[in-house]
Chain A
Amino acid sequence: MKRLFSALVIGLVIAIGATRASAQTTRPVDKADQATQDILKELESTPVSSGSTTAPSSPPAISSTRFEDEIVHIHWGRLVDQFKFMLMTAGALGCASAVLGLFVLLRREALVALAIPQVVAVGVAIGMRFEINTLPPALGVALVTLIYFALSRRWGAANWIIPSFYVAGMCLSFLIIANHGQEVEDLQRRFAGVDVAVAPSQALIAIPILLAVGAICALLWRRWLLFAQAPAAAELAGLRPARWDTLFLVLLTIATLLGTDSLGVVMVLSMLFLPAATVLPWVRRIPAAMAAGAILSLVYLAIGFYFSNLENWPLSQSVGGAGFIMLAISQLAAQLKS
Chain B
Amino acid sequence: MGPSQTLINLDKADFGYGGRSVVCVEKLALARGSCLGIFGPNGSGKTTLVRGITGLLTPMAGHVVHEPHRGAVEQGTVAYQQPASMRIGYLPQHRNIELHWPMTALDAASLAISARRFFGWIGPRTKDVLNMMRRLKIDAFAHRPFASLSGGQQQRVLLAGALAGDPTVLVLDEPTEGLDVRSTQELLDLLRDFIAEGLATMIISHEADDLMQVAGEIAWLHPAAQYGDPSTVEIVTPEALGQRILQAARRVG
Chain A residues engaging chain B, CB cutoff 8 angstroms: 106, 219-223, 225-226, 228-230, 232-239, 280, 283-286, 288-289
Contacts and interface: CB of A to CB of B under 8 A. Distances in A.
A280 B103 CA distance: 11
B122 to A, nearest CB: 7
A220 B120 contact: yes
B179 interface: no
Given A222-B121, A230-B90, A232-B173, A289 B102 contact: yes
A235 B56 contact: yes
Interface in B92-128: 92, 96-98, 100-104, 107-108, 110-112, 114-117, 119-122
A228 B117 CA distance: 17
Given A230-B111, A236-B90, A237-B84, A225 B101 contact: yes
Contact of A236 (B56, B101, B121, B145): B56
Interface in B128-147: 145
A239 B114 CA distance: 11
A228 B116 contact: no
Interface footprint category on B:
20 to 34
Given A226-B115, A238-B84, A285-B107, A233 B92 contact: yes
Nearest to A233: B90
B234 to A, nearest CB: 25
B96 to A, nearest CB: 8
A232 B90 contact: yes
A16 B77 CA distance: 68
Contact of A229 (B56, B92, B116, B171): B92
A98 to B, nearest CB: 14
Contacts of B100: 106
A280 B104 CA distance: 14
Contact of B102 (A238, A239, A285): A285
Nearest to B110: A222
Interface in B77-96: 83-84, 88-90, 92, 96
Contacts of B111: 222, 225-226, 229-230, 233
B44 interface: no
A225 B107 contact: yes
Interface centre among B102, B103, B110, B111 (most CB of A within 10 A): B102
B54 interface: yes
A284 B100 CA distance: 10
For chain A, what secondary structure do more than half of its interface residues adopt (helix, strand, loop), or is it mixed?
Answer: helix
Given A225-B111, A232-B92, A238 B83 contact: yes
Interface centre among A106, A220, A285 (most CB of B within 10 A): A285
A236 B92 CA distance: 12
Contacts of B98: 106, 228-229
5 contacts: A222-B110, A222-B117, A222-B120, A222-B122, A226-B115
Nearest to B145: A284
A232 B116 CA distance: 13
Contacts of B121: 222
Given A220-B120, A222-B120, A285-B102, A237 B107 contact: no
A228 B90 contact: no
A226 B120 contact: yes
A284 B90 contact: no
A232 B102 CA distance: 21
Contacts of A221: 120
A126 to B, nearest CB: 37
Contacts of B96: 229
B116 A237 contact: yes
Contacts of A233: 89-90, 92, 111-112, 115, 162
A57 B107 CA distance: 64
Given A221-B120, A229-B97, A237 B102 contact: no
Nearest to B158: A230
Contacts of A106: 98, 100-101
Interface centre among B83, B108, B111, B119 (most CB of A within 10 A): B111
